[in-house]
């Protein structure tokens, strides 16, 4: 193996994007450049959608869809029950054609314990609305972040990547130099239309470790590959199954919590198909490595403090090669 391996030669492949965060945070703390090659674009990330909804609502509070998105976002975190009451009132109140009208007229009365927060929300949006056309889109966005606890909510939730993405959006808005919010939103829409894929707070893949799903890596090869979640267990719940021969199978149980025989048969068939597909996916992941393959996983301790069973792909590999890892 050559000795001049750089960060750009290394790719971390994961079965599930939910495994990304641990590696992103570790690489970030270590000061190692990385780029997340995610299935969704930068401007479709949840935190970015929240802030775009905020800009839309600030520019036009009568946009019901954007207003609901802003109300549900971590910036205000109104529960779905509150939003249901607001929407129900809007449908029945002919004097309030928009949710914004309902909020201002009857919001505090309708939302009970969430009522006092309605006044703060309406005041924030109204004050921000005064900046529209007077300040650049970037300045409006920064003012909104300064007035709300959005970034703090992300930090409290451990969403370090999301916080960096927020900073990147603000930087992009400043770099665009666009004043009108509507024009900035059109600019963002054009990036989506042309399929632009920003690198989630790290725009350049050159000289950076890549993080991506195994599915995204099909057909590609890299000098060094790390399979990052080789002990990922997948789903363990009872799902409704659709079998080509048995039809739709519902996990109904009797009084003793026993599933029907036909559901158990369908479940066995489904597990066999899933196992075969996972074996194929493991083969795809492993053969992406041109020079070196690293498998990253763990074995949980059982209640007695001894090594437990190997989960996921690690269990398949350990069993096939008699590695003796269990216990």
pLDDT greater than 60 at residue 236: no
What is the average pLDDT across 164-177?
89
pLDDT band at 326 (very low <50, low <70, confident <90, very high): low
pLDDT band at 40 (very low <50, low <70, confident <90, very high): low
Residue 42 is predicted with a pLDDT of 74
Residue 135 is predicted with a pLDDT of 92
pLDDT greater at residue 271 or residue 166? 166
pLDDT greater than 60 at residue 201: no
pLDDT band at 5 (very low <50, low <70, confident <90, very high): confident
Best CA proximity match to 308, nearest among 321, 318, 293: 318
What is the average pLDDT across 45-57?
92
Cβ neighbour number for residue 217 with a 10 Å cutoff: 20
Token pair listed for 38: 């995610």
What is the average pLDDT across 150-166?
87
Please write down the HEC assignment for all residues of 177-207: CCCCHHHHHHHHHHHHHCCCCCCCCCCCCCC
- Listed range (38-42, 45-49, 120-124, 222-226) with the worst mean pLDDT: 38-42
Phi and psi at 3, nearest 5°, equal: -100, 0
pLDDT greater than 80 at residue 302: no
What residues contact residue 203 under an 8 Å CB cut-off, 6+ apart? 35
pLDDT greater than 80 at residue 59: yes
Task: Give the rounded percent of residues in the chain with a pLDDT score beyond 70.
Answer: 89
Per residue in 94-109, pLDDT (tens digit) is 887 898 988 888 877 7
Q: Are 289 and 214 in contact (CB under 8 A)?
A: no
pLDDT greater at residue 37 or residue 193? 37
- Listed range (123-137, 143-157, 205-219, 234-248) with the worst mean pLDDT: 234-248
- HSE-CB at 247 with a 13 A cutoff on CA atoms is 2
pLDDT greater at residue 287 or residue 272? 287
Residue 192 is predicted with a pLDDT of 62
Mapping DSSP to helix (H, G, I), strand (E, B) and coil, where does residue 34 land? Answer: strand
What is the average pLDDT across 273-279?
83
What residues contact residue 39 under an 8 Å CB cut-off, 6+ apart? 17, 213, 216
Best CA proximity match to 76, nearest among 117, 112, 47: 117
Residue 41 is predicted with a pLDDT of 65
What is the average pLDDT across 153-176?
87
User: Across the chain, what does the average pLDDT equal?
Assistant: 83
List the Cα angle 146/38/13 in 5-degree steps.
Answer: 130
What residues contact residue 212 under an 8 Å CB cut-off, 6+ apart? 11, 12, 13, 14, 36, 37, 38
Residue 39 is predicted with a pLDDT of 53
Dist CA 28 CA 22 (whole Å): 10
pLDDT greater at residue 55 or residue 315? 55
Per residue in 12-33, pLDDT (tens digit) is 999 888 888 888 888 888 989 8
Phi and psi at 259, nearest 5°, equal: -80, 160
Query: Is the C-alpha dihedral spanning 64, 65, 71, 77 positive or negative?
Result: positive
pLDDT band at 244 (very low <50, low <70, confident <90, very high): confident
Q: CB under 8 Å, gap of 24 or more: what pairs does 309-315 form?
A: 310/231, 311/231, 311/232, 311/233, 312/15, 312/229, 312/230, 312/231, 312/232, 312/233, 312/234, 313/15, 313/227, 313/230, 313/231, 313/232, 313/278, 313/282, 314/230, 314/231, 315/231
pLDDT band at 202 (very low <50, low <70, confident <90, very high): very low
pLDDT greater than 60 at residue 203: no
pLDDT greater at residue 326 or residue 112? 112
- As a whole number of Å, the end-to-end CA separation of the chain is 34
Residue 198 is predicted with a pLDDT of 42
Token pair listed for 73: 């976002």
- Listed range (34-38, 219-223, 229-233) with the worst mean pLDDT: 34-38
Residue 237 is predicted with a pLDDT of 59
């Amino acid at each position: 193996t050559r000795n001049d391996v750089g960060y750009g030669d290394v790719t971390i492949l994961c079965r599930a994007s939910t495994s990304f965060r641990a590696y992103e945070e570790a690489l970030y703390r270590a000061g190692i450049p990385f780029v997340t090659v995610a299935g969704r674009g930068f401007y479709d990330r949840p935190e970015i959608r929240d802030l775009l909804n905020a800009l839309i609502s600030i520019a036009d509070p009568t946009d019901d869809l954007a207003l609901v998105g802003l109300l549900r976002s971590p910036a205000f975190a109104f529960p779905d029950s509150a939003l249901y009451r607001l929407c129900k009132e809007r449908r029945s109140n002919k004097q309030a054609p928009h949710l914004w009208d309902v909020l201002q007229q009857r919001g505090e009365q309708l939302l009970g314990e969430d009522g006092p927060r309605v006044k703060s929300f309406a005041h924030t949006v109204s004050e921000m609305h005064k900046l529209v056309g007077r300040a650049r889109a970037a300045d409006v966005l920064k003012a909104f972040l300064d007035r709300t606890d959005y970034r703090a909510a992300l930090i409290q939730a451990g969403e370090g990547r999301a916080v960096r993405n927020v900073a990147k959006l603000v930087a992009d808005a400043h770099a665009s130099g666009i004043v009108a919010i509507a024009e900035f939103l059109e600019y963002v829409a054009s990036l989506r239309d042309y399929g632009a894929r920003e690198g989630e707070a790290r725009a350049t893949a050159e000289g950076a470790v890549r993080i991506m799903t195994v599915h995204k890596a099909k057909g590609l090869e890299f000098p060094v590959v790390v399979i990052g979640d080789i002990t990922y267990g997948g789903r363990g719940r009872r799902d409704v199954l659709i079998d080509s021969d048995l039809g739709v199978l519902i996990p109904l149980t009797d009084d003793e919590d026993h599933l029907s025989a036909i559901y158990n048969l369908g479940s066995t068939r489904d597990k066999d198909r899933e196992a075969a597909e996972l074996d194929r996916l493991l083969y795809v992941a492993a053969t992406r490595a041109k020079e070196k393959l690293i498998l990253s996983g763990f074995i949980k301790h059982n209640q007695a403090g001894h090594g437990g069973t190997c989960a996921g792909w690690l269990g398949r590999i350990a069993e096939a090669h008699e590695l003796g890892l269990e216990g």
